Structure 1
Amino acid sequence: MEKTPSACAMQWSIDLEKSLRSNKPGKSTEAILRIGPRLEWWNRVSNLHAAEYKIFGLIPGEDKLLANAILLRLTDAFKSGDKHMKICIVKIFLSELKQRRQLRSEGRKDEGILSKDKLDSYSELLTRIKIVFDSGDVEERALSLGLFGCWAHIAKDSADVRYLILSSLVSINILEAKASLFAAGCFSELADDFAYVFLEMLGGLLTSSGTSKAIRLAGGRAFAKMWCSILLADRAHKTGVKLILESSEEEFSLVMLVSLSKIASKWTPLLPRQMDLLSSFMTKDRGLSLQAMALKCLRFILAKGMYHVPGNSNVTLKLFGVINQSDFPPALRFDALRALCKILPSNLDTIPCTEILTIFSKILQIVEFKIQSPIISERLFAIHVLASIFDKLLGILKDAAGGIGSTVSSHMLTFIIDRISQLIKLVVVNPHPDKGAEQEDQKIIM
């Protein structure tokens, strides 16, 4: 049977200790970078069965002792090592944090080897990092804050750590302030009471005329973490909407659109408000970058399948507006079509048949254009759109023929289906516009 991480941990701990004591240049940092993927592997399979203890000759609880030993060695190295070593340690735990979030999104509740119930020494770990923060220079304080953020799940209840993070938000040094925003965002994901305090401070920070652009952008990204509870998410979303509507900075608005979409995607009741916000940015006066970002955020929400957009909603009308703007970049109009085709198939049953003809005549115009596109992905998507619409309309036509719809409605739908059939024939007859365009596709794919 292949060894598990717990069975390997003894050797890992010994190797790490030897390398950290080595005088050979680069040996210690190599060992630190090597232990990172090993810890991530251990996180994925951190729980041992009784049989595994017997097979590998482990004493129950030995794996916890080894995990504590490895992490204490790393914090000792962070405390006594040079800045390069500190940076390497922060990097491995940033990667571990990313993995842990991914596991959490997949339904994993256990925090792996870095959970409080497996770390008897977690308070000692925090104390050693705090020593670096208290005695270090600006860069070392920023690295300490980054590590506290990575360890938010074991540090979120520490009053001392909370205080130093919140007090660092107003640091005059950009590096330290940005690191505190990162750490505060990590804490806000897990601690509702901390998040409320942070939100109040963040609102004041972002409206202050003395706040630099770099901090405003970092603060905008931190907004995305304010979703621990529905009440917090609601307040954060309202605050964020106010900030974005009052801002004249395009870059800040781009960041806030993403953050507010992430908050809304966590709680269905917030989605109608977010949809209204996104649709308000799908107008020509907002500029192409903001329109493109609003469309990207809309597709992000639709992809999660959490919200049913009415077929005759303001969002739908704005999407048609983008599609019909011939002076807009093709990529922007294509993104609008993608979003629209995500909305409409599930809404056709609710749209009056008298409106279907108008709606799909517009869609068919751009689909017909895209079928002639030299870009393979656009042609394939156009065919996909035709297939989706064709399938849905056949169902509606069947209902109409059964007495649900009127004869006029049936004629309208038949007319649309005939047009779609003609376009499908066009695809079959001429699947490749020209060889030159096909070669261009290959360059794009490469």
Structure 2
Amino acid sequence: MIDTVALPRPYQNYVYAYPHKTAYRPLTPRPAIADLWSGESTSTLSLYLHIPFCEVRCGFCNLFTRVGAPDGLTGRYLDALTRQAEAVRAALGDTEPVRFANAAFGGGTPTFLEAGELTRLCDIAEHVMGADLRAVPLSVEASPSTATADRLGVLAERGTTRLSLGVQSFIDEEARAAVRPQRRADVEAALGRIRDTDIPVLNIDLIYGIDGQTAASWRLSLDAALAWRPEEIYLYPLYVRPLTGLGRNVDPVAAEHDWDEQRLRRYEEGRDHLLAEGYTQVSMRMFRRLDAPPQGPDDYACQTDGMIGLGCGARSYTSGVHYSFDYAVAPREVRAIIDTYTATTDFTRAAYGRVIDGDEAERRYLLQSLLQADGFSVAEYRGLFGRDPRDGFSTELGSLAERGWLDDAGSDRLRLSPRGLAYSDAMGPEFFSPAVRAAMAAYEHR
């Protein structure tokens, strides 16, 4: 019966957060940050600092970032980041203890900053916000060309526990096809420098579905990554997004059936190879080495605990409101938003966001839990929301079961089958609320 069920396209929307920023709108009137956090638990928070600069913009990238930073822009950006951190820390107050359970520097490319600027970035997190970077997991994203010894030295000394390197492909021709000009020799040199540090967890990002990629070339990239015994490997399907480098060169109405099939095959090949090499699957994208060292205490739950995001591309989460700054992808729009951010002196109010009611909170919890390979406890879910997920989402979960995407729909633990994990990017959008769907559809890409 499963084989006769019509399946949706496998690659639709990567649900790394819900609701997506394209569902955010200007908040009117702009609420005070202090009011948004009043009454919220601050004992287990996540801290994220966003650096919106890269040395080159990859053809597949739709992140909030710009190429280069002329005329001292990084310094002005860090000045603004300091002002924002001071305002946010004051807004959190001292009535309840403020504790950060983990921290991350993302982008863009945080290691675009020079060593002295990375020291400033760590100081903002530690001395202004109060995060103990040497006592909690700290993850930092990097690119091969910016993973220099002096930058890595700062990060290692300040307590970085995880360094994520965006490689995408070890094949020079494939890297160029993805509009990511780099040489394998430079990638290997960067990996060597990272392994020379005391950073305990190395993650390597790879992409499948690149034009010209074959089963053989994909295996070559996988084996090249495995040669470094990374503690983590992320396998990302290639997406072509509006206003990205690749997006400008693709006919949006062209049939993509063959590409879907190719990506599914590469995914399965990559998954099976990593499992055979001693890795366990954490999600559709994430694989962790079975003997990888623990990163340290991490009692943060992304489904329920709050997050403080600093920087013009970061978002923050309270239980009732998700908020950020304006969002864009086109280079000119991004530059304008960054310029506005660096000129801002008053960071006491939230500008853009979305109110999260009980229904949206439930959808967010379900999505962020179900898309993990281990799934979630139905009993814990019932304790949080007062009902079984099968009662609230019977149609959606029934469809997953009919397609064979649930491992055991009758157990107390709801988890995806291996085929369900493969279709994670098709499954996520099915749980979006009508209101979020409408807001995303109405969003004007710029």
Report if TM-score (shorter chain) is over 0.5: no
Determine which structure has the larger helix proportion and give its number.
Answer: 1
Answer with 1 or 2: which has the greater Rg.
1
Question: For this structure pair, what is the TM-score category when the shorter chain's length is used for normalisation?
Answer: under 0.3
